[in-house]
Structure 1
Amino acid sequence: MTSEEYRVAKIDGRDVPWDPSQLRQIQEHPCFNAGACHAFGRMHLAVAPKCNIQCNY
């Protein structure tokens, strides 16, 4: 899939292409998986000077 074929989300007035690999990572991540919400605990630790909540699981 080329960048011209990516679906686009409008964020703050800008068109941002969806990245398929990032979407796949989000779907498999226990924090965003509805089936995992009762099996795993999660805690966000703000350790960066500017928290961006991108843990790259």
Structure 2
Amino acid sequence: MSENAYPTAKVGDQEVPWDPEQLRKIREHPCFSEKACHRFGRMHLAVAPRCNIQCNYCI
């Protein structure tokens, strides 16, 4: 495994790579964090067909 490879987790029968920084963003994102959703207001704009957390707009 190279130094730049992501760690993996076993999901079902597959080894799935995951990015620790992306996981941190998801945990703190108001849409997914139970604590954050009580501190921040949310307004969803119909800009993308699906939520794109990677845009970092609301983080």
Question: Normalising by structure 1, what TM-score?
Answer: 0.55
The number of residues matched between the two structures is: 53
Whether the 8 Å CA contact 2:9–2:17 is kept in 1: the answer is yes
Which ranges in structure 1 are unaligned for 5 or more consecutive residues? none
Runs of 4+ residues deviating >4 angstroms:
none
Which ranges in structure 2 are unaligned for 5 or more consecutive residues? none
Equivalent in the alignment of 2:11: 9
Equivalent in the alignment of 2:34: 34
Alpha carbons of 1:5 and 1:39: their partners in 2 closer, same or farther (altered >3 Å)?
A: closer
Question: Normalising by structure 2, what TM-score?
Answer: 0.54
Root-mean-square deviation over aligned CA pairs = 2.8
Give, in angstroms, the shift of residue 19 of structure 1.
1.6
Cα distance in 2, alignment partners of residues 8 and 18 from structure 1: 11
Structure with the bigger RCO (C-alpha within 8 Å, sep 6+) is: 2
Whether the 8 Å CA contact 2:7–2:18 is kept in 1: the answer is no
Identity of aligned residues (%): 51
Cα distance in 2, alignment partners of residues 52 and 14 from structure 1: 25
